[in-house]
């Protein structure tokens, strides 16, 4: 596997991980007791921290990519093994 493929697959894992961890720890103004600003949606987060989301996404994507790459090298789950299941 070349470096471009490794980078592209890791970026895909990172984006998916960012969407997975995005809702964790978010509180709405109703939950925090803050007043809504004019035009603000009721579900808009009042404590959004993109740095924490990026850090969590980086950790999760590193773990998931590590599992993916280990499977690629070791061949634990292959298409041949999956076709015998069904």
Task: Read off the tokens for 72.
Answer: 């690629």
pTM over 0.95: no
- Could you tell me which of 62, 61, 30, 60 has the C-alpha nearest to residue 47? 30
Given pLDDT bands bounded at 50, 70 and 90, which one contains residue 86?
low
Mean pLDDT of the chain: 92
- Which tops the pLDDT comparison, 12 or 43? 12
Q: Where are the domains of the chain?
A: 3-83
């Amino acid at each position: 596997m070349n470096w471009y493929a490794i980078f592209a697959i890791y970026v895909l894992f990172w984006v998916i991980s960012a969407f997975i961890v995005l809702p964790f720890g978010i509180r709405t103004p109703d939950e925090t007791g803050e007043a809504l600003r004019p035009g603000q949606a009721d579900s808009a987060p009042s404590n959004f921290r993109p740095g924490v989301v990026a850090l969590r996404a980086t950790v999760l994507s590193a773990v998931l990519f590590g599992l993916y790459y280990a499977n690629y090298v070791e061949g634990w789950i292959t298409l041949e093994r999956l076709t015998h299941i069904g």
